[in-house]
Structure 1
Amino acid sequence: MRSTSEPSFGQERIWLLEQLLPDTVMHHLTMAYEIRGPLDPAVLSRAAEAVVERHAQLRTTFHERDGRPFVTVHDSAPPVLRVVPVASLDQWEGRAEEERAVRFDLSELPLMRITLYPIGDDHHVLLIVLHHILTDGAGMGVLLDELSDAYAGLHDGGRWQPADLPTTYQQHVAQERTAATDGSWTKDLAYWRERLHDAPAVFTMPGAAPRPSRPTLSAHAAQASLTDADVTALQEFARRHRVSPAMVLSAAWVATLSRHCGDRDILVGTSVSGRDRAELRGLIGLFMNVVTLRVQAPAGTSFADLVTRVRDETLTAMVHRRPPFAAVVAELGRERSLAYNPVYQILFNNASRSTQAFAGVPELTSRRLPLASAALQTDLELVVAPEADQRTLLNLEASADIYEEATAALLLEHMVNLLRHGMAAPDTPVDQLSLVTEEQHRDLLRLCAPPRTPLPDVGSALELMLASIDKNPDAPAVHSGSRRFTYAELGRHAGQLAERLAREGVTRGDVVAVHLDRSVEALLAILASWQLGAAYLPVDPTYPRRRVEFILRDARAQVIVSGPGTAPDTFAALGTRVVVVDEVDGDAADGPPLTVSAGGDGEDPAYVIYTSGSTGQPKGVNVPHRAVVNFLTSMAERPGLTHDDVMLALTSPSFDISVLELLLPLMVGARIALASTEDARDPQRLLDLVTNERVTVMQATPVTWDAVLALAPAHLRLRLALCGGEALTRPLANRLCAVASQVWNMYGPTETTVWSLIAPVRPGPDDEVVPIGRPIRNTSAWVLNSDGGVLPAGVVGELHLGGSGLALGYRGRPGLTDQRFVAGPPETGTERLYRTGDLVRLRLDGDFEFLGRADSQVKIRGHRIEVDEIASLLRRHPRVRDAVVVARDDGAGNRQLVAYVVPAGLSAPTAQTNESR
């Protein structure tokens, strides 16, 4: 005989997931015990059969009719115990993993397997694997208790005569189905609809990997233990604040997650037994439910206040716990996805104390063996497990699909530290609770702010060049096509140009616009400007005329240095004097030597470079000589450049990485191989130039490197390859390592002078992230949260940079300067820091890792672009009502800007979009 009926809501949800993920073992519940003593397998088998006969759930299968599941309860079931001898406990672990991975067919009995592994006559391991659709964690405890009781009763020929069960699981299901239709849950569902209607749909932590559409459900596991002192403090804190210890731990968990993700609105699922009535407590069945705690902690919330919020949220949720989670999800109407659990993706469970197997059998002793879950059902699952010796274990599993292996251990470590600090100082705002120990904090400060070293005693960067000219007057300085210049010739030409600029009125503090592409003449203009104490302003001749005019007006350039190909009326509207420089020869006549103007100071501007601006207008960054001196002297040490090197200069002077290519070789006595505009645009010509000029050092953006390496001959070898401007992928890094003895990844915004963090690169797996490295000399790098607090290693925040490389600010923009150049927190000594807008984290190995932007800025071929600037300009057009600009990959690894425009006059913004490339 057999009977059929409907499944419970919980069973129906599990059945549906099994259909969508047919290969999953995520619903396998397991427990294992090591047993010492004379265990009788035959008696154990009869005990298991008795328990199966007593509980209908263990004789249940699941089937489909018209796309919906139904349940069949069988009168009998096949034996569930197998005996599999093993040689050792180590061998059992491998067998157990295999056993746990064997899937159940929900339409066939049994849906439980009990395996006994004899290791010796008095040494066994018992493994129970059961499908979650039959029962829950509490039911597993009932199963073990009854299996133990039955064994004790049947041992030595006795009988097991338990009391009759007061009800059945199918009667519970019938009551649940009735409640779903008679309005019993109306108030409860209304509560959940109101409480969760505007809650975040998906929990995300910066730096997590994109979610796969079909998760693997594999997990990284970590474990931490609260000390006796911790447990005592926890119990006392809970008593004093009239909460349970679990509520305090839940609050610490929420606070840790909030600190890591930067969100103050956290959803956490927590399990409730569902066995509210006494007659249900001895049943094997799926009663467990999950309620969602929505914990909101505004800025300034103290740890004590957070604990109170968690208590109130928990108690209110428990009042409305009756509807099954599946019914709440249906009520919310949330979009379903296999990629993540609906409503919550974080689980907090307070486990009951471990049950001891065969406690009623005097000659047997047992201990529970730890087992990781077969598969993770949420992104993060924390289980608090009190142990028999009064310890409390914290077991955390993190989805391997989206989190790195170290994440679970790091989260637990931070949670324990935050808990200790919160209990010791409960009135402290959560945002200020320490995630690390005092020793770890000291180590963090040393990584973020390495010891400073003295700068060269010079008033300007020009003095570094002059020292090299004096030391190497006849050495080759620059090769540009067929033209050759020694250091002495370069100095005399620069001195001659400085005289011409002086006659045009250029003095200290002025700005000289260099309207030239990469060329010897552009380099001369830079040196000549510095001789007079002026800053140079690179203006790319290929820029649109309106942008050029804006930059020249905004910078208030005293003189414009331009080439002979410039049209006479190009700058007529500006009223600015123009100095036209013809192509000079290396064989210079006797001219005035290059000198340094009197009264120069390291804080004088060395150059002004305009970058994209989110307001629709470019902004000029004022970089002082102090910053240039620090940058060049640091680069001369690491990655290092010597007088024997030949460095390729292929970057436009309007891009600040040209500072390294044009000036670092001159400082150390090396030679510059200057690429023409045509060379820079053609990868094959670049390769020919590298070969013909015997280039040893090359710097480029990832896009340029990719194009060059695609054509590179097998014999191409460089001493040093530098890559920056955009994120360096591991595959490209590995290709660079194949052609260069040294490869360095470089990172830095214009506002902190070219490169601020650098990292040596070695070959590695293609899925490995290439870090952006550590600070260069006299540079500090801090990961701060939105409130300006210092974040420890592993936590994602906004990178702030300080030190000698810091720019003076934005020219003529004091308000914007104050927004981006800010006072650091106390740990920094309140030094001035630049907010980069880049999301990073400090890795445990001391390197920084770039994770993306905190705003709308993007980089295309190494150039920094504020997409809001472009959108702002598009909106000014009379035929455009609105515009959005994004960076998009074209499918071949090339990023391009795409503008989506809403034409003026449309009634609805979504009616039409025009794509412009």
Structure 2
Amino acid sequence: MQCTKRGWVVAVPDIFSATSIAELAQVIESRLPTLPVDTMAESSLTPFTATEQWYMQTYHQCPLGLWASVVTCLSSDVTLEALKHWLVDLARTRESLNRQLDVAQGAWHLRPLVTLDTLESMATVQLCNDYATLDQVLAHVEQERSSLQSQDSPLLRVSLLALDKGLKVLAITAHRLLVGPQEWPSILRSLGQAVNSSALPMPTPPCPTSFHQPLVQRALSAPSVQPLLAFASSHTHPQYLDAVVLGCFAYVCKNHLPDTALEVLHMQGQQDQRCINHQPTTKSCVAVPAKDTLSLAHTIDLAKQVLYGQPSCNAPSDDTSIAEPHSDTSVLYHAVTSASTHLAKCSLAPLLTSPFHSTLGYAQGYACEAMATVSEGGLALTVSSSLAQTTDSTPHALLDAWAQALVQYQSTILGTLDALSPYDYPLLPLDNAQFRALVHEVKAALNLTCCNVVDLLPTSSLQDGFIVNTLKDPSAYMVQMAFHIDGHLDVDRYRRCWHEVGQRHSILRTKFVTTDLVPGHAAIQVVLPSMDVAWSYETDHQLLNDDMEHQYLAQDRQCGFVFDGSPLLRLALFKINDTDHLLFFSHHHALLDGWSLNIVLDEVMALYHNQTLAPVVQYSSYLGHLTRQPAEATQRFWQELLHEVTPTPDLQLPSTRPPSQPTPAKPNAICDQTLHCSLSDIHAFCQSLGITTNNLLRGLWALLLHRYLGDAKETTFGTLVSGRNVPVPGIDDMVGLCINTIPFRAKFSSEQTLHDWLRDIHRVSGEIMTHEHANLVHVQQWANVPTGTPLFQSLLVYDKYRQSQLAADEQDICMRPAGGHNVTEYPLTASFYDHENELHVALVYKTNSYDDAYISLLCAYLDACLSRIIASTPGTVLEHIQQLPESEHRMIMDWTRGIVKTPDPDCALLSDLFTNSLSRCPHAIALESGTEQWTYAQVHQQAVAIAQWLVSRNVLPGDCVALVFTRSPYFVFAVLAVLLVGGVYVPIDATVATERICGILTDLATPVVLLERYDEVLVEHLTPVTSGIGYCDAMASCATGHPTDIPRIRRDPQDLAYIIFTSGTTGKPKGVQVRHESAVNTLTHMAQTMELDPNCRFLQLLNIAFDGSLVELFTTFYAGGTVVLSQDNLVDDLLR
């Protein structure tokens, strides 16, 4: 290093060794683009950037202030012509070397493509033979720099100086506007490739002490700073090393330059070495308080605040803060650029120490300039000061104190709690006190001896749910996979491949720590430097048997996963023979989804086969995207979409298992079936409608729920989304849990066509995509679903994951799936997946809820329904798709063959079951209550009396009439009366709360209500919600009517007969509408099955609000028998 009055010169020994040229040229030059000729138009005029204008202002004040020179040795066979050709090639690939200053207009002219003829207009290339020593070379360079007085001087000068003994020295002088400080290494490496020369050793002359700008440099060797550089290279924030070095420098400035303001010049974003021009820079000012109480750790936190740009809410809990300079004395600090650090990480050392540019002559001078550079695996510190404001000893003292502060930080702070700061983890919205408490929790939970933490991250909403459930059940969300590895496996090499993949992806080095310190999260993610995986390798053949897979999975599942620092990944390898191994891979679902699992397995195999893997984006990028989503817009969207949604219950399929039979040992089972429609037909159909396959399957599953839930007007089910439709670069190759479970609501209209309905599903899905990251717990709250009531009971999954390439042709080993186990929390999960132009469906179901036989029927329905959808026409109405598949139709026919008789043509309406017996045996006993009896004729007479009152109240056919009763003869009279006038009766238990009764009547909007007798309290509550109340005991006491007194009402069997309201245990009571036809078919079939006859006596026990009470009444009336009303004390005795 040689200093001069107006600048300085760098001598770089041994930079062009034979090996370094090949390595550096291959890495750097392979990335250099070739600029098209048409971009070099003479007319191009580009205004200066703000930084360039700042430099130009300085250039006007001091033309020599921003020049730098580099000197290096070359071999003797390098010619001037070779240098010229190199410079032309360099200009072809670097736009900055084709620019010319237009000072008058404050802009750049883009010159024509540089040739040998035009070279002299932009640079000076000369050969000098008058120098014998290095000192003479340095003097020549100084003379050249001094001659650059005019603004018309070339911005680049290249001199090839011949020394004695056949040596040649290359001197390059360039302006800062043309070549930035970080571009010099690339220029010299390009030169090394062009001239194919090896640098010769060059002694570094001693640093003079008589210059007006003393410059001192200190090199911290690689071993002395290796822990700091290693920690910085693994740290998430790219400017961590910058902050530590700057913080240490600011810490020592308070002793040597009190009341100093540091002006920090650092790069914006990553340095792009393909462009040799000045990158945008920013200047930040920070005041260094002149007080001894400011610790080194707090000063480094202050530097992080400057460089990271974190909001002030994360500031340490003292009065340290960013401030504008408050003194004319200030320091210019050049931050360690990411480019230098990046090159060091890539082992491209030795690196050229970046030229340090004097700024003497600025409008406001600097007392001192400082710069740090990563070089040769170590850290180079440089300090320069002005005699006008400092003494000659100041640079040396600053440099010594700076180096000592870095050593102090590394020995006493690095690896302790103070090395971590909330500024380093911007995704955690914590202040300093909260952060310190969190770090203590992390240390205790993971049993860390020191906080060797790479990153701290919040959990996603789905990860939170998985973790909470795992705390209750360690086997919850445990994914187990088994694979056969065919071929001669190198076990040690295979294990190293797993470790290398773990180092590539931070999520594989992640552990979870539960905490309540982070708002809205149940835990945080702690990324460690290396992957912690439980590995076992067994070669004992006694352990191998036909049932080994099932036994191992069951045993492994019993262990589960706990969040106490134990590994969340387990690998167990069993050697079956020399060419066959069995691998079991278990992991917690909070780490990986199916997409990521395939990536991991493929990368392991790729590394095993010596393939090169591309760089990857870490999971933290996805989490950062989630934190930036507007919460208010997402909440508003889901509230509107799920307004007045009705939770969809579980499918109530019948069971063929006797009650005495125990529950199956396996909690989950799978029914896998190939659907008949080919993928090509499915894709063609979707393309014709402009929908996706995923939305077609959503419609298919909605139709199944619609059918098996009794033709509900809407259904809601869960759907699994990949989470990769977000603008995060590299997300397709990212490893982590990106999936999410969200509700999907499908509405039905009998008049809507199938194709329009599917398009509506596609439209709604597109609207959901922007908000599919929402937390399901929050979504249920926004939908106003009662706490504890699930919004849906089934889950739809379309496994459109990237296909794994486990089995590769012409490779020595390959992996093939051999089974596994995956737990689901939902009673029924439909998983669709593609395979060889076929669509498969796998129904995963809980064995304590469903039988195998009925799950097979669901698969058959899906197959038949999908075929009808694909074959549908534009005019196909939605309800026409809901036909029975052949398997269900055949099963029903088998059930009913020889059992169900032809329906009675005289029994079309529910009332006919009574009136037919009235005609056959009017004097037979129809009803008995205690000691009282009524014949069919007498019951009919009582019913007619009540019917006459209903007619007088203008009750019309189809009107609802509420019957608020307990078990009594008057209830039977009232039911028959409503049916006689063509009304729809609604039985309501009079013993329930009046609020529930009033709520039902409000929903019905019924004109009249019938009571057994007057009840003052009940009438007071019912009067506001109905227009008329009748009392049956009073009507029956004056019964004189005859059948002819009531006009016969013509009703259709498809008309409603009654409405039964549910209990409301899962929410608001809902009315179930029953038509005459279905009620008559069911009741006549039951009467025939029970072989009831006129001599039968049927005890009526059930509550009148349950539809089971109709069986007791109308099957007996149909047979002409007697209904015996039970007394309350009899029911109590039976219950006891």
Q: TM-score w.r.t. structure 2 length?
A: 0.41
Aligned-partner Cα distance in 2 for 1:124–1:341: 43
Aligned-partner Cα distance in 2 for 1:853–1:65: 52
1:188 CA displacement = 2.8
CA contact (8 A) 2:685 2:870 kept: yes
Shift in CA distance, 512/815, structure 1 to aligned 2, threshold 3 Å: closer
Shift in CA distance, 96/141, structure 1 to aligned 2, threshold 3 Å: same
Shift in CA distance, 333/259, structure 1 to aligned 2, threshold 3 Å: closer
- Measured against aligned partners, the alpha-carbon deviations of 1:255-305 in whole angstroms (never above 9, x if no partner) come to 111111121311232222223223233222122123332111112333323
Amino acid at match of 1:422: I
Could you say what secondary structure the match of 2:564 adopts?
coil
Higher relative contact order (CA 8 A, sep 6+): 1
CA contact (8 A) 1:422 1:428 kept: no
Equivalent residue number for residue 856 of structure 1: 1105
Could you say what secondary structure the match of 2:635 adopts?
helix
Aligned-partner Cα distance in 2 for 1:291–1:510: 53
Aligned-partner Cα distance in 1 for 2:684–2:816: 30
Alignment of 1:375-454 (within 5 A): 375-387=823-835, 389-426=836-873, 427-433=875-881, 435-438=883-886, 441=889, 444-445=892-893, 447-448=895-896, 450=898
* Range that drifts further, 422-431 or 409-418: 422-431
Equivalent residue number for residue 210 of structure 2: none
CA contact (8 A) 2:648 2:717 kept: no
Whether 2:710 is the aligned partner of 1:288: answer: no
Could you say what secondary structure the match of 1:428 adopts?
coil
Higher helix share: 2
Equivalent residue number for residue 126 of structure 1: 583
CA contact (8 A) 2:511 2:525 kept: yes
Aligned to 2:501, which of 51, 69, 83?
A: 51
Aligned-partner Cα distance in 2 for 1:351–1:408: 23
- Measured against aligned partners, the alpha-carbon deviations of 1:186-222 in whole angstroms (never above 9, x if no partner) come to 323211111012112243334579xxxxx99933321
Could you say what secondary structure the match of 2:609 adopts?
helix
Aligned-partner Cα distance in 1 for 2:1085–2:550: 37
Equivalent residue number for residue 186 of structure 1: 632
Aligned to 1:243, which of 691, 695, 702?
A: 691
- Cα RMSD for the two superposed structures: 4.8
Alignment of 1:879-898 (within 5 A): 894=1135
1:43 CA displacement = 1.4
Aligned-partner Cα distance in 2 for 1:60–1:423: 46
Aligned-partner Cα distance in 1 for 2:782–2:694: 29
Aligned to 1:76, which of 526, 530, 535?
A: 530
CA contact (8 A) 1:259 1:431 kept: no
Q: Which runs of 5+ in 2 are unaligned?
A: 1-451, 656-663, 904-913, 946-967, 981-1042, 1058-1074, 1087-1100, 1116-1127
Whether 2:198 is the aligned partner of 1:198: answer: no
Aligned to 2:754, which of 288, 299, 303?
A: 303
1:535 CA displacement = 5.6
Alignment of 1:212-611 (within 5 A): 218-227=667-676, 230-262=678-710, 263-275=712-724, 276=726, 277-332=728-783, 334-337=785-788, 341-342=790-791, 345-352=794-801, 354-357=803-806, 359=808, 362-373=811-822, 375-387=823-835, 389-426=836-873, 427-433=875-881, 435-438=883-886, 441=889, 444-445=892-893, 447-448=895-896, 450=898, 536-540=924-928, 542=930, 551=939, 553-554=941-942
Paired residue total: 529
CA contact (8 A) 1:49 1:80 kept: no
Aligned-partner Cα distance in 1 for 2:729–2:564: 31
Whether 2:480 is the aligned partner of 1:30: answer: yes
Aligned-partner Cα distance in 2 for 1:369–1:405: 23
CA contact (8 A) 1:63 1:106 kept: yes
1:129 CA displacement = 1.1
CA contact (8 A) 1:383 1:396 kept: yes
CA contact (8 A) 1:417 1:437 kept: yes
Could you say what secondary structure the match of 2:924 adopts?
strand
Shift in CA distance, 511/74, structure 1 to aligned 2, threshold 3 Å: closer
Aligned-partner Cα distance in 2 for 1:232–1:450: 44
Shift in CA distance, 164/834, structure 1 to aligned 2, threshold 3 Å: closer
Amino acid at match of 2:639: R
Higher strand share: 1
Aligned-partner Cα distance in 1 for 2:578–2:463: 40
1:419 CA displacement = 1.1
CA contact (8 A) 2:1083 2:1114 kept: no
CA contact (8 A) 2:474 2:561 kept: no
1:44 CA displacement = 1.4
1:37 CA displacement = 1.4
Aligned-partner Cα distance in 2 for 1:273–1:4: 24
1:232 CA displacement = 3.6
1:544 CA displacement = 5.7
Shift in CA distance, 128/890, structure 1 to aligned 2, threshold 3 Å: farther
Could you say what secondary structure the match of 2:774 adopts?
coil
Aligned to 2:469, which of 11, 14, 17?
A: 17
Aligned-partner Cα distance in 1 for 2:626–2:848: 36
1:121 CA displacement = 1.4
CA contact (8 A) 2:574 2:581 kept: yes
Amino acid at match of 2:638: W
Equivalent residue number for residue 974 of structure 2: 616
Aligned-partner Cα distance in 1 for 2:900–2:623: 71
Amino acid at match of 1:272: V
CA contact (8 A) 1:148 1:359 kept: no
Aligned-partner Cα distance in 2 for 1:11–1:318: 19
Shift in CA distance, 351/379, structure 1 to aligned 2, threshold 3 Å: farther
CA contact (8 A) 1:295 1:313 kept: no
- Measured against aligned partners, the alpha-carbon deviations of 1:490-526 in whole angstroms (never above 9, x if no partner) come to xxxxxxxxxxxxxxxxxxx99999xxxxxxxxxxxxx
Amino acid at match of 2:877: P
Amino acid at match of 1:196: L
1:61 CA displacement = 1.7
1:412 CA displacement = 1.2
Shift in CA distance, 324/106, structure 1 to aligned 2, threshold 3 Å: same
Aligned-partner Cα distance in 2 for 1:313–1:453: 48
Aligned to 1:39, which of 474, 478, 489?
A: 489
Equivalent residue number for residue 1079 of structure 2: 835
Aligned-partner Cα distance in 2 for 1:341–1:511: 47
Aligned-partner Cα distance in 2 for 1:816–1:100: 65
Identity percentage of aligned residues: 17
- Measured against aligned partners, the alpha-carbon deviations of 1:713-736 in whole angstroms (never above 9, x if no partner) come to xxxxxxxxxxxxxxxxxxxxxxxx
Shift in CA distance, 854/354, structure 1 to aligned 2, threshold 3 Å: farther
Equivalent residue number for residue 603 of structure 2: 146
Could you say what secondary structure the match of 2:733 adopts?
coil
Shift in CA distance, 552/100, structure 1 to aligned 2, threshold 3 Å: closer
Shift in CA distance, 397/454, structure 1 to aligned 2, threshold 3 Å: closer
CA contact (8 A) 1:264 1:297 kept: yes
Shift in CA distance, 290/451, structure 1 to aligned 2, threshold 3 Å: closer
* Range that drifts further, 189-198 or 548-557: 548-557
1:149 CA displacement = 1.8
Could you say what secondary structure the match of 2:811 adopts?
coil
Q: Which runs of 5+ in 1 are unaligned?
A: 154-159, 210-214, 456-508, 514-528, 558-609, 623-808, 824-830, 843-851, 867-886, 896-917
Equivalent residue number for residue 1036 of structure 2: none
1:104 CA displacement = 0.9
Aligned-partner Cα distance in 1 for 2:550–2:758: 40
Equivalent residue number for residue 108 of structure 1: 565
CA contact (8 A) 1:220 1:399 kept: yes
- Measured against aligned partners, the alpha-carbon deviations of 1:365-423 in whole angstroms (never above 9, x if no partner) come to 333234342x2222321111111x32221111123343333332221111111111222
Shift in CA distance, 301/368, structure 1 to aligned 2, threshold 3 Å: farther
Amino acid at match of 1:856: A
1:116 CA displacement = 1.9
Amino acid at match of 1:82: S
1:225 CA displacement = 0.2
- Measured against aligned partners, the alpha-carbon deviations of 1:843-869 in whole angstroms (never above 9, x if no partner) come to xxxxxxxxx999933557995499xxx
Amino acid at match of 2:559: V
